[in-house]
Structure formats: structure tokens, C-alpha cells
Structure 1
Amino acid sequence: MHRVGYLLSEGFQVMALASQSVFEYANHTAGEAFYRIENYSTTGGEVRSSLGMKIDTRPITPRTAMDTWIVAGVNTPLTTPPPADVLAFLRRAGKRARRIAGICTGGFVLAEAGLLANRRATTHWAYAREMQQRFADVRVEEDRIFIVDGPIWTSAGMTAGLDLALAMVEKDLGADIARSVAHKLVMHQRRAGGQSQHSEMLDLAPKSDRIQNALNYARKHLNQPLTVEELAGEAHLSPRQFSRVFTLETGQSPAKAVEGLRLEAARLMIEKSRHSLETIAQETGFRDRRHMREAFMRGFGLPPQEVRREARASG
């Protein structure tokens, strides 16, 4: 049996507990109680979430041992350091546990305990810069769903905790069971750790249906040239009107937005498929592999080959 302990503190994000369903359904799918889940806090008893809901917990002691520890993030100010006994406990646990994870801002607690020193890590995109500023010895990658560096796992915020837990299940029980769990939980897709936290479509956030329709059309036809005239036709506007309204609603030109959609699609294919870079460039509408590389350097500061290497390393 694999024991998983969740370390909770006052004001913890209740969304962190949603990841426990991944382990629950892994047990159902495997047909055995492979995982045992328990909630802990420094003193035990009831711990209040940021939503106000109270969860009963066991107290941590020097002898408390788990195979996996998961530290839940909090919504309280991150400048307040965790209690000394929590940090001391995590340092001890780091030597005994198979792995330790921080969901969302839980990564800050791991960093305070020194567990992220000289390691790659991520956290919620809104706090990534702060983590890098406060912990210079941590290699923060702010645009990742989750990162595995040895026995230390960190994830972005909110639903990324589900992806992290699902990756643990895949490592423990195999890809078939992980896929089945994702299906049972109606997870749209199993996101790779290297996948971006951001969605280009969400970032654009057009205000009108006509611009949204043009973007939907563009996303479905990325392997085509996608001229302004073509997109304007989908929005039932003249090219001049379309360019003006599009820029007003999204803050980007149509050409810049389309390149962003191409980059997002190409990056996902690079991370999750074995297609050659030439094929990916063709499928996502770049002129050739060289054109795609230039766009990647502008958009991500990395060439496609490096993105693929990082995805395989995190996998």
C-alpha cells in the first residue's frame, strides 16, 4: 500500500483536495486499495480552508511517515513564513519519503524548507516571479503545468494539481490505469507537465461573437494561410473593419494572434507527439521548420528542439 499524506495549513486552497479523487479512482480502477490517503496538519484537529470549510486532520510528529507528501497551497499572504516545525518536518520527510509535492503555492513551503534548492520548479503563474525573486537558488519555470525534478514535484495552481496526481498514478500503476482514471473523472485530456499554463484563446478573450467565430475558424484551419480577407469573411466584416475591431477587442493584430495560435498548437504537438519538426511546422501553418524556429524564439525564447527535450525530461 502506498501512503499519501496531505499537509494542510490554515487557509489552504480547497481545490488541492480535489486531487485526492485521482488516487481514489486509481484504487477503483486497479481493483485494490493501492493508495491510502490521510490529511495532516501541525497540531491535528480541524483546519479551515480559504473557503471556510473545516477538514479534520491528524497531527504530524517526528515519527510520521508517508510514501508521498503533498503540500497544499494557501491563499494567505506568501510573505509569512511557514511555522518552523513544518519546515523541520519537511526536511526530515525529504530524506525518508519517496516523493514530496507542492500544489500551487505549496511550492513556496518546499522552497522555504530548502527542498527546491538547485532544482527546477513551478507554481501558479501569478506567483512565479515572486518565487524566483525570493528563492534565487530555485530554477523557476513559470509556464509549466507541473515539474518533476527527482523526488520533488511541483505544480501550477488549481486544476494542475489533478494533472500532477494523475502523473503520479501513471508512474505508480502505468499509463492504462492513468487513462482510465482520466476518463472516469471526465478530464478533457491528460496534460503533460511541460504544457503551458496559458491558453492563447483565453488570453485573447474577444468580446463579440464575430471575432470569436473568426478565431475558432483560424484554430481549425491552422494548416492554411489564413489571410485577413479570409478571417474577415468569417466575421462578416470588410478586411479593414475586421482588423480594426479585432485589434480593439483582443489587443493584438490578426497576424500576431494567428501566430500565437500556431505556436500553441505546435508546442502541444512537439510535447505530446513523435512527429518530426518538419511535419509539425506543416500541420500548424508555418512555412517550414526554420520559420517555426524563428517564431518559437520570439514567443518562448527557446527553439523547438529544446521544448521537446524539456518535455521528454519532465515526462
Structure 2
Amino acid sequence: MDAKVGEIRTSSPASAVYKPRKSTARLSVGFILAKRFTLCAFANFVDVLRLAADEGDRSRPIMCNWNVLSDTMSAIPSSSGVSVQPNERLGDPTKFDYLVVVGGVMDDLTGLGSAYVSYLTQAAAAGVPLIGLCTGGFLLHKAGLMKGYRCCVSWFHHADFLEQFDGLDPVSDQIFIDDGERLTCSGGASSAHLAAYLVERHVGRAQASKSLHIMIIDDALRPEKPQPGVSMDISTRDPMVMRALLLMQQNIDTPLSVAELAKRMGHSKRQLERHFRSALGASPQAAFLQIRLTFARHLIETTDKLVASIAVECGFCDSSHLSRMFRQRFDMTPQEVRRHAQQSASIGEAQAA
């Protein structure tokens, strides 16, 4: 029977019975796909393995192999509607060098089924490293398998993580984290960089570079590379400053001191200040204030929140403190900015009518 439209089938039939086998590949990876998993994160990771496994882009699983695992062998829908057909049943997890859990959209993160949790728990007990792609780290945490490990999450989901998961400190100022037997990744293009990192470790640097270059991706990025975040009206190419700015953005309501910021990043206060002066011509404190005021203006222009509430949300003592800093920065009070935004919106609506 032909595959359904929008369904990806592997070469093995869905009815294939799992048989333990020894692999000669240098890198063997098993994938567990969550319901409505992120196709981009999965595809980027797999394609790096595929291109590193053989000469050119012939795709034979020689130096690397990969399998999509399942307890039922039913096709798994991605968030884009494209389904992937598993090609191997859950069996002995120790046959793999890594097991990768690919997460999906936040609304469907109800957790993995009991068979998968049992399988991953068995793998962890046997020392098989577990990888969480995109929101896969959330699922590993739900399964109780992230205790004592750092977890990399996308800056976009940082607030979601804090809201839904206790007992784990999310890291969203790096593209991925290698914390020994747990590796987590923010998803998207960073999945390719994590895969290349593992290919370099097990197969070789040349194969890792070849994969990325064929995919038209620049040379492999190291785990500490900062994630691209939302616009803060501050631009720099200094990696240290970019990471610091992202940390500032994620702690707007409880501003960090420069000393605490430097400590979290593993640098000295003086070193961080020197990089800010060189990259931005400003101190970290001045940059942090600009980020908070920019965010405050965004809330004033786009929401009906009270100025007092916005002040607290943006780390100011009270509305008077915010108003004073706001006027110095924008030469207008918060109320004047809101009134101007409302007038502009009314004119736009009238013109469109």
C-alpha cells in the first residue's frame, strides 16, 4: 500500500520485528518523536548524520546509523502535519550511542507514554546519554530524567519553562548544552550544530564540516554560542556581550548586578565590563536599563496594563521611578507615549475603513 500524502516512510516495513543487532557504525542514534514534534529540529539532526555517514550525499548508513523508534509502529504526526513512519520497535537501548527525544509544540506537551518513559529510564540506568531537542528537554524533565542536569531551552520558551516546570534551571543563552549524560538543544538550526558536534566527536571533524557545508550552514558552532533572541535595539557581534544581553532580557523583572551576571557566565566583572565598553561603548548597567525601558515602552504602546504594573514587570521600584527614567530616555512620559500610540492606531483604523 502506498504511503499517505504527507507521510514519510523509512525503508523498513512498519510490521518489522525488532531484532538486536551489532552495528559497525561509529555513531548510532535512536529517535523518539513526540506527538506533533518539530520537524525542523528532527530533519536538521538527521541530515547531518546522513551526510556524515557516507561519501558525498549517497546517504548509506555506514559511519552513522539512525532509527525512529516506536512502541506501536504507528505514523507520528509532526507540528507541520507531515508524519514520519517509525522503522524499529523499542528494544535494547544500549545498542545506541545516544537516544534523542524530539519535542513538539507547547500545547501538546502532555508527556511521553509509559512505554517510552520506561525505555528511557532503562537507557539512563545503563549510561546511554539522552538528548532533548527543542522541547524534548521538557519531556525528559517530565519523565524525571533531568534531575541534577542543566537544560537548554529556546529563549522563546524560557517563560513557559519557568511557569510549568519546577526544580530545573533553564539555560536559554546558549544554542545547546553538553552536560555529560544529558544533552539539550534549543531546536531549529542549532539541532544541526549539536549533531555536527557529536559527529566530530565520534566520526571526525571533516565529516562534521562536510555535512554542514552541504546543508549550506557555516562551520560548526560550539555549545556556548549565544541564541539569537528578540530585538532589543542593541546590536553587537561580540558573543560574550550577546549572551549577557540575553540573560538581561530573561531577568528584566529582577535585574541582575554586573557581578552576578559575570558569575553566571563564568567571567570576571572587569572582563565583562571591558567587552561591553569595546562592543557598545556603554556599561552593562546602561545596556540593561535600555533593555528594560525598551520593553516598558513596548508594553505601554501595545497593552492596557497600568504603568505601575509595567514598572514592576520591568524591574523598576515604582511608577515614579519608571516615569523618571522613561522621560530621560524618550523625552516623553509613559502616558504621552500611550496616548500617541492610541491616536496612531485610531487614525490607522479610520483610514482602513
8 Å contact kept, 2:226–2:243: no
2:62 counterpart (28, 33, 58) = 33
Contact 2:225 2:239 in 1 (8 A): no
Q: Once the two structures are superposed, what CA deviation does each residue of 1:119-165 show, in whole Å capped at 9, x if it has no partner? A: 11112223223323433222211222111111111111222211111
CA contact 1:26–1:178 (8 Å) conserved in 2? yes
The amino acid across from 2:149 in the alignment is R
Q: Does structure 2 retain, via aligned residues, the 8 Å contact 1:166–1:182?
A: yes
TM-aligned CA deviation for residue 55 of structure 1: 1.7
TM-superposed CA distance for 1:82, in Å, is 2.1
Match of 2:79 among 47, 50, 57: 50
Which residue does the alignment assign to 2:226? 196
Give the structure 1 partner of residue 33 of structure 2. 8
Which position in structure 2 is the counterpart of 1:178? 208
Q: Is the 8 A contact 2:44 2:188 kept in 1?
A: no
The aligned amino acid for 1:5 is: G
- Higher alpha-carbon Rg: 2
Closer, same or farther in 2 for the Cα pair 1:116/1:7, shift >3 Å?
same
- d(CA) in 1 for partners of 2:243, 2:55: 29
The equivalences for 1:84-233 within 5 A come to: 84-96=114-126, 98-199=128-229, 203=231
Task: State the alpha-carbon separation in 1 of the partners of residues 290 and 222 from structure 2.
Answer: 20
Are the aligned partners of 2:63 and 2:203 in contact in 1 as well (CA < 8 Å)?
Answer: no
Counterpart of 1:17? Answer: 43
C-alpha separation between the residues in 2 aligned to 1:131 and 1:44?
30
Percentage of pairs with the same residue: 21
Distance 1:123 1:60, change over 3 A: farther
How far apart, in 2, do the equivalents of 1:162 and 1:25 lie?
11
Change (3 A) 1:261 1:113: same
Alignment partner, residue 235 of structure 2: 261
CA distance in 1, matches of 2:228, 2:243: 16
The more displaced of 71-80 and 48-57 is 71-80
Amino acid of the structure 2 residue aligned with 1:184: I
CA–CA separation in structure 2 for the residues paired with 1:299 and 1:119:
33
Rounded to whole Å, the distance in 2 between the matches of 1:134 and 1:32 is: 39
Paired residue secondary structure (2:54): helix
Question: Deviations for 1:251-270, whole angstroms, at most 9, x for unmatched residues?
Answer: xxxxxx3xx32475553699
- Label 1:133 to 1:38 Cα distance change in 2 as closer, same or farther (>3 A): same
Q: Cα RMSD over matched residues?
A: 3.3
After the TM superposition, list the runs of 4 or more consecutive aligned residues in structure 1 that deviate by more than 4 angstroms.
Answer: 29-32, 263-266, 268-271, 276-283, 293-300
CA contact (8 A) 1:265 1:284 kept: no
Code of the residue aligned with 2:62 in structure 1: it is: A
Answer whether contact 1:269 1:280 (CA < 8 A) is retained.
no
The 1:51/1:117 distance shift into structure 2, 3 A limit, reads: same
Unaligned runs of 5+ in 2: 1-24, 245-264, 266-270, 292-353
Q: Count the aligned residue pairs.
A: 236
- 2:86 counterpart SS class: strand
CA contact under 8 A between 2:45 and 2:192: conserved in structure 1?
yes
1:115 partner letter: L
Match of 2:307 in 1: none
After superposition, the Cα gap between the structure-2 partners of 1:282 and 1:4, relative to the gap in structure 1 and judged at 3 Å, is same
TM-score where L is the length of structure 2: 0.58
Q: Distance in 2 between matches of 1:264 and 1:299?
A: 18
What amino acid maps onto 2:197 in structure 1?
A
Q: Structure 1 unaligned runs (5+)? A: 205-256, 301-315
- Range with greater deviation from structure 2 (56-65 or 167-176): 56-65
State the SS of the aligned residue for 2:107: coil
Task: Measure the CA separation in 2 of the matches of 1:21 and 1:72.
Answer: 15
Matched position secondary structure for 1:147: strand
